[in-house]
Amino acid sequence: MSAQEASSSEGQSTAACPLCGKADKMQKAKPLYGHMVCNGCRDGFANRRQAAGALDIFVLIYLLQLALAAMLVSQGSAPEDVTTIAWLGSILVFLGKESIGGRSPGKAFFGVRVIDDTNGQPVGLAWSIKRNLPLLIPFMPLIVALQLGKGERTGDGWAHTKVVWQKYADHPIFAPPLGKSATDAETVRKAEAIVREAQERARLEKSG
C-alpha cells in the first residue's frame, strides 16, 4: 500500500460519523442516502424502520382485521363477507398508513417519519398509497427489509418520498435536496437588491 493510500485509509477510519459524531465505528462505515455513516447509526436507523413496519403490520392488519370482523359479525354479516371486508379494509388502511403527518403508528413509536423529498413536508394519503403499493407484490416486503439500511427503498423513488430519523431530521443527510433551490433563491434576492441599489444611485446622481 502506498503512503497516499495509507493516509487515505487512516483518514477514513478516524473520521467522525456525521450523525452521532463518533469515530470508533467508522471502520465499517456504510452509505445512508449516499452519505457515509457509522455502522451503529446505519443499523440503528434500519432497525427502527424494520420495527416500525412490524408494529404496523400487527396493529393495522392483524388487530384491525379482528376489530372489523367482530363489528361485522355483530351486525349479522355473512362469514364470507366478514373475511373479505375485514381483509380489504385493513389493507387499504395499511397502504395509507403514513397519511397523517407522515407517521404510521409504528413510525410514530420508533421516531421516524415519511416526507415529500421535493419540499420536506410530511406526506399525504396519495404519497403514502403510492410508496406502499409495491409491498403488495409477493416477497417484496422481504426485499424492502434488506434495503432499509441504505435509506431509499422500493416505492420511495416512485412516490418521491424519504424516511427521516426524527432525532436527526435537520441533518443534511435527511433533508430534502433543497440546497440548490435555496441557494438560487438567495442569489436572486441579492441580485435584485444590487439592481435596486444601482437604480437608486443613478436616480440620485441624475437628480443631484
Domain that holds residue 79: 48-176
- The residue that leads in pLDDT, 205 or 150, is 150
The predicted structure's pLDDT at residue 195? 53
pLDDT tens digits for range 15-41: 888 888 888 778 888 899 989 999 889
User: 123 and 192: one domain?
Assistant: no
75 & 110 share domain: yes
Enter the DSSP assignment of 200: H
For residue 37, list its beta bridge partners.
30
In a domain, 12, yes or no: no
- Give the list of residues 6+ apart from residue 36 with CB closer than 8 angstroms, or none: 18, 26, 29, 30
Residue 208 has pLDDT above 80, yes or no: no
Shared-domain flag, residues 58 and 159:
yes
Same-domain pairing of 100 and 186: no
Q: Are 174 and 33 in contact (CB under 8 A)?
A: yes
Q: Note whether 163 and 203 are same-domain residues.
A: no
Using one digit for the tens of pLDDT, what is the confidence trace for 84-134?
888 888 899 999 999 999 999 999 999 999 999 888 899 999 999 999 999
Looking at per-residue confidence, does 200 or 131 come out higher? 131
Higher per-residue pLDDT: 12 or 198: 198
Confidence of residue 181 (pLDDT cuts 50, 70, 90): very low
* Phi and psi torsions of 191, nearest 5°: -65, -40
Least confident of 53-62, 84-93, 118-127, 196-205: 196-205
pLDDT at position 189 = 58
In a domain, 70, yes or no: yes
Note whether residue 111 is domain-resident: yes
Q: Is 103 helix (H, G, I), strand (E, B) or coil?
A: coil
150 shares its domain with 194: no
In a domain, 81, yes or no: yes
pLDDT of residue 129: 94
6 occurs within a structural domain? no
What is the domain count for the chain?
2
**Band of residue 193 on the pLDDT scale cut at 50, 70, 90:** low
Q: Is residue 144 part of a domain?
A: yes
What's the rounded Cα separation, in Å, for the pair 98 and 28? 32
Of the candidates 51, 58, 60, the residue with the CA atom closest to the CA atom of residue 145: 51
The pLDDT-based confidence of 10 (bands split at 50, 70, 90) is very low
pTM for this structure? Answer: 0.72
**Shared-domain flag, residues 81 and 56:** yes
**135-175 confidence digits (pLDDT tens):** 999 899 889 888 888 999 999 998 999 999 999 988 889 88
Q: Are residues 170 and 184 in the same domain?
A: no
Reported as a pLDDT band with limits 50, 70 and 90, residue 205 is low
Asked whether residue 53 falls in the same domain as residue 154, the answer is yes
CA dihedral sign of residues 80, 82, 83, 85: positive
Domain contains 161 = yes
Query: Could you tell me if residue 141 is inside a domain?
Result: yes
N-to-C CA span, the chain: 72
172 and 189 share a domain?
no
183 and 135 within one domain: no
Own/partner long-range contacts of 38-45 (Cβ < 8 Å, ≥24 apart): 41/17, 42/149, 43/149, 45/112, 45/148, 45/149, 45/151, 45/165
Q: Are residues 54 and 75 in the same domain?
A: yes
The span from the CA of 175 to the CA of 151, in Å, is 12
